[in-house]
Amino acid sequence: MPVTIDLSGSVAVVTGGTRGVGAGITRTLLEAGAEVVTCARRAPDKPVEAAGRTARFLPVDLRDPAAVADFFDRVRDDHGRLDVLVNNAGGTPFRMLGDGAAEQQARVVELNLVAPLTASLAAYEVMRRQAVGGSIIMIGSVSATRPSPGSAAYGAAKAGLDNLARSMAVEWAPLVRVNTLVPGMVRTELSHLHYGDEDGIASVGRTVPLGRLAEPSDIGDACVFLASERAAYISGASLLVHGGGERPAFLDAATANH
């Protein structure tokens, strides 16, 4: 029999859930039956839809703790519960450390580490009062475990996010599970900014053992699993969703002369 995951009746929040990877996560949660609330500073050009259903959007600045607390109170009041938080909002411009002021690097850390912490604390205040608790999913990055020239502050923030999730998983057990989903390269509407045209994207995809970049739905499927009862005994874990990672450069160098 096929294994299906039904999140009907559950309420999920996806930060930054209106475009790119976040929109893919939102669509997959909608397809699984969840009610989904997305948030960002600005409203999207069009709502995120899937399976004939539409995600709700509420504006919030995730760097404002009071506004974040109000946002989660509103979700609880309007929907009666909060089962899942996906901390997806984040990102960074490409900037070598020597080319940016300390304040610029600090803002990257604030968005990618402090903001998810702020959202998680507010979500926990809702989840801990529910008999069923909840699930918090951090969207990390493979940049957290390798050198990240041009995005050093981002990689450092994502490394901190993974460690934060492990501590939350211990402190907030058994009611709230906390995990990190670690994507590799994902094909989104902004991929051309990083990888070039279709030929460039295909060329980059060939460096991945599975032969392609991830689709946003691949990340969404992993989120649906971690949010579900199928993952009831998974907490404090880091789930790699990177297609096998990268072929080690030394292999190509070692075989080049043979």
Residue 55 corresponds to which tokens in the numbers above? 């995600």
Task: Name beta bridge partners: 238.
Answer: 180
242 Cβ neighbours under 8 A, 6+ residues apart = 142, 182, 183, 184, 185, 208, 214
Task: Choose, from 124, 154, 195, 233, the residue flagged as catalytic.
Answer: 154
Do residues 235 and 227 lie in contact, with contact meaning Cβ atoms separated by under 8 Å?
no
Is 233 one of the annotated active-site residues of the chain?
A: no
Do residues 51 and 28 lie in contact, with contact meaning Cβ atoms separated by under 8 Å?
no
Backbone angles phi, psi at 52, to 5 degrees: 75, 15
Residue 188 corresponds to which tokens in the numbers above? 């989104």
8-state DSSP, 87: E
* Chain centroid to CA 257: 41
Question: Which sequence positions are flagged as catalytic?
Answer: 154
